[in-house]
Structure formats: structure tokens, C-alpha cells
Copies of this chain bind each other. A is one copy, B any other.
Amino acid sequence: MSESPPRPPPAAAVLEIGERLAEAPSKDLTTIAFSRELKAQLGLARAIGWVDLAHALSFAKAGLIPRASARSLIVALLELSAAPSSFAPKAECGDLYTNREAWLAQRTPAAGWLGLARARREALTTAYHLVLCDELLDLGEALTAFVEILCEASLRHRESLAPDYTYLQAAQPTTFGHYLQSFAWPALRDLDRLEGLYERVDRCPAGIGGVNGSAIVRNRRELSERLGFREPVRHARDAMWQADLAIEAAALAVTAIVNLDRLCEDLMIFATSEFGFVRLADRHGRASKIMPQKRNPFALAFVRGLANRLLGVQTQLAATARTPSAQMDNRLFAYEAAPDALRSATDAVRLVNACVAEMQFDEARALDALRDRSVCASDLAERVMIATGTDHRSAHGVVGRLLRTLEEKGQCLAQATLGDLRGALRDVGLPVTGVTEELLRSALDPMVCVAARSDVGGACSFEVRAMAETAADAARKVREAVATKRAHRQAALQRLHAEVEDFARGA
């Protein structure tokens, strides 16, 4: 059995120059296209090492690669997996795959077996699935912590009164705890989405040959298992080109970071000296180089900036998928953009986790914002409605006019007297029976208002506690599921490593 003839210089060898192609790639193609493609694949470097090892081992065990060559190839692959400094990918050698091939070819003629029954895209795509799985688990972990931190904070602040705003206008009294927890629930939905996406990504494209199956071997289940996947992607052509996963990953990153962004945009406003409810820890801010007084909430603005970047990635990935099928540009930047979107979301979650855990809430300033009691207007209207039996619309109108009247006198709702209220009722011919001092005072007491919100999901203290427990419990389950998945993957790769080392040693 013969080995291949002496090798040409690396680039030509792996780019088929002088074989299928008459010419080497042009300088433009190399510096413009290959270099960008290569850069976008570097994040797959570690994972493709695993893929190549599993591939080589599988074909070796099937007897398709002669044993000595297989051993030689695997030894070289193991060396390359350690990311040696001699491996410095460059555009002249094409993409990550051919750069690896060129490095291997300098070390062993057995490199010629690497491409056996496999398009480069199979290797890259399998590595991409591995990386996406890891990124999803990291995001799962970060989001779980986010839910937990918010639940804790919501318990701590479940009786800290504050206004709830709509349109940035104070709307009704709430607690800072109820407010904060409202960001935990979208994160739980993100965790649900993440679980669904993980199921879809955790399937192995390996072994599909060129486009629709290999003509010489049946090893897709084996490859899948060796690499720690749940099972092979069923349809070989689909396996090669799944465009939906990148779009879904981007959308998940977007829903996750948009939730953070909304919290951060709120906190930026609450952290102004005019609102003053919240103070970010100095270690999440940044000083100005010209204005000595400033502590800029850098972390918060950063999250918004990153969110907008992910909006762009979402557009890119969806547009990228919209071509005739089986186009390499579907993957060109997606290999980088999809994992990077998840990584960016994870990083944003971590940063916000730290900001929320360490920020201070100023109860006094929050109470100040309730002082004029305008936020109690709807509670007052509802109490008037019930007491007098008048309809909601009329009661609402009465309180609206009462407010205007007070305003004209330079007063606020907190200063309303029983006489004012009864006067407003009488002005439109409504009864005043049941409209008492007690009614007025209860309606204008924010703590009373909050305590009354006791139905599912309401702001009252015990419901905030009950919801926090439910949410934290859900988070705990996700944390365990993530840990299990991570352990499963790691165990598979450790087994693979042991297997290839055995094989390399000839064991």
C-alpha cells in the first residue's frame, strides 16, 4: 500500500492549484475574501480539532484509512489540537480547514486522508454546532443567575415603595421589588426558548459526505455519539445547510438582550440626579475626562449599544440565509456571528447581573416621587366608584377634574380635602354618600394601594414573595439541566480523547 507522492508547498497543495484550478487565487481574492472568511472561522478552531479527531478515528476503525497512516494522522491532529504556535492560520492557505490541512501536510503525508468522504463544510458545520451548544449552555447559566439575582432583589425590596411609570410618567404605586422582578419572567421565557434551540442544535451533521450522504461508509450515528451529540441531524442535505438555527440563535440573543436593555434604560433614568432612586456602583461607571463631577453609568449605556449590535446581527443572519439553497455564503459570517451573538448576550447578562447585585436603591428618593400622591388617582377613582355606586367612567372623570382644580390652585392630590372630593362629585351631580375621610386617606396611602393588589401577579408583598419562589425554583431546575448537559458533552469529549490517545499509542 503506497503513501502519496512528495508534497507541494502548503497553499497550492490544499487549494488544488495546478490540479483542478489552473491558477493560484488572486491577491484580491486572498486579501479580501479568504482573509475575512478565515477570520470569521477562528472561533471554531478548538471545536474543529475534536471533529477531525472523531472523523479520523471513525474512518480508521472502519478500516478505510490504513492503520499506520491513521496513527500518524491522529498523532498530528492531537498535536494541532493543543494549538501550537506553529499553527498561524493565514489567508494564503484558504480557510480554517485548509490551513489545518496545510499544517498537517507539512508534518505527515497521512494528512492526505483527512478529507476522506467529507466536504470541508461538514467539518466546519459540525464544529459550529459544538460551539453553539457551548454558547447556549453559557447563556443558560448566565440567565439563570439573572433570574436568581432579580428574585433575591425583589424579595429584599418587596416593601420598598416606588412609582410604576408608563411613558415615564408616574402611573401607580408599586414596590421596587415587584418592578425588578418583572424582568425575571421574560428571562425565564428566554430559558425556555434556549432549551428548545439547544434540542435543535444538539444534533450532529457529521458524516454527510459531499451533500447527501457518503457513498463509502455508514458512520453518522457513531460520529454523533463520539462528539457528544444527541443524534445525527436526520436528513443529510438539510444537515449541511440548516439556516434556521442561526436565525433562531440571533433571535434568542435579541430577546435576551432586549430584556436587559429595557432594564438598563430604566436604570439610566432612575440613576439621574433628577430621579435619584438608584445609584450604580462606581466600579460599573466611568469618569469623564473633562467633567470632574461625572460618574457615567457606562455599563448601562454599553448594554444598549450591544443590544443594537445584535439587532444588526439578526438582520445579517436572516438576510444571509435568503439565497438559493446550498450557498457557501449562508455560512460565511454565520460561523462567527451566531456564536458571537450568543456570547454577547451572555456577557451582557453577566454585566447586568453585577450591576443589579451591587446597585443601591434610595428609598427616600423613591418615596419623594410618590409624595404628591398623583399615582393614587386611579385607586381613589375606584374607591369612589364602589362607595357611590357610580360608574367607572364618571368616577374617573371626577378625579380627573379634581386634579385639574387642585393644579390650578397650585396643589397636588396629597393636599386634597374631603371637601374638595365631595365638591367634585357634586359638581357633576353625583352622590357623596360613602365618600369619607377614611376612604380618601386609604386611597391616598400608597402602601394600602399596593397591599390591595393581591391577585395573581400583583404587587402585594406576599404575591411578590410567592412569584419569587416560583421563578427561583424554575431557575434552579434550569441550572441543573444546564449542568447535566454540560457534563454529558464533556464526558463524551473526554472519552473521545482517551480513545484517540489509545489509538495513537497503538493500544
Question: Using Cβ atoms and an 8 Å threshold, which residues of chain B touch A220?
Answer: 455-457
Mind listing 24 A-B residue pairs with CB under 8 Å? A21-B282, A26-B284, A29-B299, A113-B392, A113-B393, A120-B290, A164-B210, A164-B211, A166-B296, A182-B238, A190-B244, A213-B453, A243-B258, A251-B254, A261-B322, A273-B369, A302-B332, A305-B320, A308-B333, A311-B319, A312-B315, A313-B316, A315-B315, A319-B319
10 new A-B contacts at CB < 8 Å, known A115-B290, A216-B382: A32-B351, A116-B392, A169-B295, A184-B235, A251-B254, A261-B322, A269-B269, A269-B272, A272-B274, A319-B322
Task: Establish whether residues A172 and B323, one from each chain, have CB atoms under 8 Å apart when the complex forms.
Answer: no
Chain B, Cβ-Cβ closest to A348: B32
Task: Establish whether residues A324 and B262, one from each chain, have CB atoms under 8 Å apart when the complex forms.
Answer: yes
Which of A202-246 touch B at CB < 8 Å? Answer: 207-221, 232-239, 241-244
Does A419 belong to the interface (CB within 8 Å)? Answer: no
A486 and B310 CA atoms in complex are apart in Å by: 35
Number of copies: 4
A209 and B171 CA atoms in complex are apart in Å by: 11
| Count of interface residues, chain A, beta-carbon cutoff 8 Å | 211
Give the distance to chain B from A180, nearest Cβ to Cβ, in Å.
10
Give the distance to chain B from A187, nearest Cβ to Cβ, in Å.
9
Question: Using Cβ atoms and an 8 Å threshold, which residues of chain B touch A243?
Answer: 186, 255, 258-259, 262
Mask: chain A, 396-411; 1 = CB below 8 Å from B; 0 = not: 1101111110000000
Q: Which of B119, B193, B317, B458 contacts A289 (CB 8 A)?
A: B119
Task: Establish whether residues A292 and B381, one from each chain, have CB atoms under 8 Å apart when the complex forms.
Answer: yes
A213 and B3 CA atoms in complex are apart in Å by: 63
A300 and B436 CA atoms in complex are apart in Å by: 39
Task: Establish whether residues B311 and A332, one from each chain, have CB atoms under 8 Å apart when the complex forms.
Answer: no
Task: Establish whether residues A110 and B329, one from each chain, have CB atoms under 8 Å apart when the complex forms.
Answer: no
Question: Using Cβ atoms and an 8 Å threshold, which residues of chain B touch A381?
Answer: 292
Task: Establish whether residues A37 and B302, one from each chain, have CB atoms under 8 Å apart when the complex forms.
Answer: yes
A136 and B245 CA atoms in complex are apart in Å by: 20
Task: Establish whether residues B322 and A308, one from each chain, have CB atoms under 8 Å apart when the complex forms.
Answer: yes
Does A114 belong to the interface (CB within 8 Å)? Answer: yes
Task: Establish whether residues B378 and A290, one from each chain, have CB atoms under 8 Å apart when the complex forms.
Answer: yes
Q: Which of B16, B219, B262, B399 contacts A397 (CB 8 A)?
A: B16
A377 and B210 CA atoms in complex are apart in Å by: 11
Question: Using Cβ atoms and an 8 Å threshold, which residues of chain B touch A37?
Answer: 302
Question: Using Cβ atoms and an 8 Å threshold, which residues of chain B touch A495?
Answer: none
Question: Using Cβ atoms and an 8 Å threshold, which residues of chain B touch A391?
Answer: 3-4, 69, 109-110, 112-113, 116
Task: Establish whether residues B168 and A272, one from each chain, have CB atoms under 8 Å apart when the complex forms.
Answer: yes
Does A297 belong to the interface (CB within 8 Å)? Answer: yes
